[in-house]
Structure 1
Amino acid sequence: MEEHEKTFIALFFMGVLIAIGKILTSDEQITVRLFFGRVILGAAISVLAGALLIWFPDISPLALTGIGTAFGIAGYQLVEMWLKKRGSALLQGRLKK
């Protein structure tokens, strides 16, 4: 397995663990839908840190992992807030311009 594949997998699982941690510390009732939705969202947001390799190809794996963790925590909240406000309208085709 090549280095970039290992980094991708590490970022993915870090996002999964962040999402699970956020679910366990929240006051909301945990449902299967909520659990899997947040796990997928957390993993996807953390993997976005891999896009930094386009601008900084020589960035160290530790720095990339740290940025992925930050994206997994902060970016997760922003995406979830956007989805709650606009996502359902977008999916139903009712988004106001």
Structure 2
Amino acid sequence: MQQEDTWLVGLGVIGVLTAVGKLLVSDDPITPRLVVGRALLGAVTSMVAGIALIQFPGLPPLALYGIGCALGIVGSQSLEAYFRRWANKQGGGRGKTTN
């Protein structure tokens, strides 16, 4: 496996762990659907840190993983809030009735 592939896998794992950790400390009921959804969202948003390698090709792995952790937390929260607002505007909020 090449170095870039190893970093990509590492970023994905960090994103999954961050998302599951956030879920465990939240008040949301833990369901398999929520665990998988947040794990995927965390993994994808943390992988965006790979873009930093374009600007800084010699970036150490620890710095890259730190950026990945930050993006995994902030990015997934932002995306989740955006899609919840969008779904509510469309009348598709779960468990909510529209008049």
1:29 aligns with 29
2:95 aligned residue: none
How far apart are 1:77 and its partner, in Å?
0.9
TM-score under structure 2 length normalisation: 0.83
Equivalent position of 1:93 in the other structure: none
Name 1:95's counterpart in structure 2.
none
CA distance in 2, matches of 1:7, 1:87: 34
One-letter code aligned to 2:13: F
User: Which structure 1 residue ranges, 5 or more long, are not aligned?
Assistant: 90-97
Identity over the aligned pairs, expressed in percent? 45
* TM-score (norm. length: structure 1): 0.85
Deviations 1:6-41 (A, max 9, x none): 100000000000011011111111112111110100
In the superposition, relative to structure 1, how do residues 84 and 3 fare at CA in structure 2: closer, same or farther (>3 Å)?
A: same
- Where does 1:78-97 land on structure 2 (aligned, <5 Å)? 78-86=78-86, 89=90
Number of residue pairs aligned between Structure 1 and Structure 2:
89
Report the counterpart of residue 45 of structure 1 in structure 2. 45
2:62 equivalent in structure 1: 62
Question: Structure 2 CA distance, aligned partners of 1:5 and 1:19?
Answer: 21
**Would you identify which runs of 4 or more consecutive aligned residues in structure 1 move more than 4 Å?**
none
Unpaired runs of 5+ residues, structure 2, are: 91-99
Calculate the aligned-residue CA RMSD, in Å. 1.3
Per residue, is there more helix in 1 or in 2? 1
